[in-house]
Amino acid sequence: MMMMALALAATGIQLAQPKGHPERWITDSDYPATAKSRGAVGQTRFRIAVSPEGKPVLCDIVASSGHSDLDQQTCALMMHRSEFSPAKTADGQPVYATFKSRAIWRLPSRPRPAVEQIADLALTVATLPKSVKNPANVLVALLVKADGTIAECKPSENPNDVETVARLGKVACQQAVALLKPPAMLNAQKEPILSVQGFMVSFSTAP
């Protein structure tokens, strides 16, 4: 039992992770007929509140595609189809969390909409390590107390970019704790609660 407890503590806080096949949460057949008839395309950025059981409890639009029917369809599908492994504290306790992503609505007859990596915290630095890309992005997990203060930060592992996390993960957490003001999450009774929230920190050099 002691070894298990140590393993959980070493893991640190964990973000909510999509289960199954999130690429199937929205399919071509889900395109709203009205939007398709207009040739509407775009990118909808959304945020889901995830319960300690891994269920979506709320979806809101962070940045609109420019088409209300595409935005509404995005959240309707997320609430119906999304499922998650719950976020956890360092001691393994499941907690409420946020999950942010985007839906790219496109039609074969139209050019693919431009996809931008939008950071929650964009930092300009004098130099970057030669082994990382410019810009360099690090996703951090913040444990946010009910009063909105940050109790803990952990860089999230990225198997596709291990070097960036290794070189910039610590400073990403330092800057996130110093500069971000995450909102406290509310439960079904509208009471502020402990939560794990993910934020993208981007480092780039001046032009």
pLDDT per residue over 11-35, tens digit each? 589 999 999 888 889 988 999 999 9
Residue 13 and residue 39 in one domain: yes
- From CA 80, how far away is CA 58, in angstroms rounded? 11
Residue 108 and residue 121 in one domain: no
Residue 187 and residue 207 in one domain: yes
- From CA 113, how far away is CA 42, in angstroms rounded? 6
Please tell me the predicted confidence (pLDDT) of residue 6. Answer: 27
Model confidence at 184, pLDDT cuts 50, 70, 90, reads: confident
Residue 96 and residue 176 in one domain: no
Residue among 46, 72, 56 at smallest CA distance from 18: 56
Residue 121 and residue 94 in one domain: no
For 73-85, write each residue's pLDDT tens digit. Answer: 999 999 999 999 9
Residue 1 and residue 103 in one domain: yes
**Mean pLDDT over residues 183-205, rounded?**
91
Residue 107 and residue 15 in one domain: yes
Fill in the DSSP letter of residue 130: T
- From CA 78, how far away is CA 56, in angstroms rounded? 8
Structural domain of residue 143, as residue ranges? 117-207
Last residue of a domain, one of 70, 98, 116: 116
Last residue of a domain, one of 61, 82, 116: 116
- From CA 35, how far away is CA 51, in angstroms rounded? 32
Residue among 83, 75, 93 at smallest CA distance from 32: 75
Specify the number of domains making up the chain: 2
* Residue 43's CATH number: 3.30.2420.10
Residue 80 and residue 136 in one domain: no
Residue 2 and residue 32 in one domain: yes
Beta strands in the chain (DSSP E): 17-18, 42-50, 56-63, 84-85, 87-88, 94-105, 121-125, 136-144, 150-155, 185-186, 192-193, 195-205
Residue 195 and residue 105 in one domain: no
Residue 53 and residue 68 in one domain: yes
